Amino acid sequence: MSFKKGVDDGLPIGIGYFAVSFSFGIAGSKLLTWPLITLISMTNLTSAGQFAGLHIMSEMTGTLLEMAIATFFINLRYSLMAISLSQKVSPSFGTFKRLCLGTGITDEIYAVAMSSKVPVTPIYFLGLMLLPYLGWTSGTLIGAVCGEVLPHFLTDALGVALYGMFIAIVVPQMKIHKPTCIAVFISIALSLLFNYAPVLSEVSFGFAIILCAVLASLVAAFLFPIKENA
């Protein structure tokens, strides 16, 4: 598997990441300068984790511990993807290369790599993650710069794209997978409780995210356990 093949396979992902990260740049420009918000995307490659961290910062009540725990649980799936993908890579994909390229594991990159009919090589995976990484960072940069120069009414309108992205990700899976649908509604119910219930509303936003995610996952796992193959 060649570097060029990886770049070709990563091109559609990179284009999609550019559009999503533009919204992240717009949202981040309301809190941080464009170099700082761009640095976040350069050192992370996780849409949900970054948006959650940004939201915790915007609340002005979250601590670094809350941010760390929230992003840990949100991004925990990448560890499972890495374990699964490790069974698909070539023998030349040693530990050092896995550590260097591990930041490139995202939902879409993982799906493309796992669909390969031959073992994934380091040079292919580098090509596969290159354009998504550039698309994510450049989209954030342009969005952050635009957020600083464009009128507020326009940046607020562009920020709506973020919610459209999450709806586009969640709703199709809810239609075909009942446990996902139930987990989403549990999360919504818990979120409403943490916003409006007299005692729960005192919980900071960061820990509310953590509790909603963990509790909804636990309930769904208890109600719909995955059956092991005999």
Residue 163: which pLDDT band, with cuts at 50, 70 and 90?
A: low
Tell me the C-alpha distance between 116 and 1, whole Å: 10
What pLDDT score does 130 carry? Answer: 93
Burial class (CB in 10 A: 0-12, 13-18, 19+), 91: exposed
According to the per-residue pLDDT averaged within each range, which of 62-71, 111-120, 138-147, 211-220 is highest? 138-147
d(CA 125, CA 101): 8
142 has pLDDT over 90: yes
What is the percent of the chain with per-residue pLDDT over 70, rounded to a whole number?
A: 88
The encoded tokens of residue 10 equal: 């990563």
Average pLDDT, the chain: 82
7 vs 175, residue with greater confidence:
7
Q: Is residue 94's pLDDT more than 90?
A: no
CB atoms within 10 A of CB 154: 12
CA distance 84 to 169: 22
pLDDT-based confidence at 166, cuts 50/70/90?
low
Model's pTM, two decimal places?
0.71
How far, in Å, CA of 135 to CA of 143, rounded?
12
Q: To which residue do tokens 């993650």 refer? A: 129
Q: Taking 60 as the threshold, does the pLDDT of residue 14 lie above it?
A: yes
- pLDDT digits 0-9 by tens, 169-214: 678 778 888 888 888 899 889 888 888 888 887 777 667 777 887 8
pLDDT at 145: 92
Residue 154 has pLDDT above 50, yes or no: yes
141: confidence class by pLDDT, cuts 50, 70, 90? very high
Q: Which residues are CB-contacts of 106 (< 8 A; sequence separation ≥ 6)?
A: 13, 45, 46, 78, 132
Residue 38's pLDDT is what? Answer: 92
Dist CA 12 CA 171 (whole Å)? 21
pLDDT at residue 116 greater than cutoff 50:
yes
Tell me, what's the pLDDT at 140?
Answer: 92
Q: What percent of the chain has pLDDT over 90?
A: 13
pLDDT of residue 159: 64
Mean pLDDT, residues 131-156:
86
Given a cut of 50, whether residue 230 has pLDDT beyond it is no
CA geometry: angle 33, 36, 40, nearest 5 deg: 135
Residue 220, Cα to own-chain centre: how many angstroms? 21
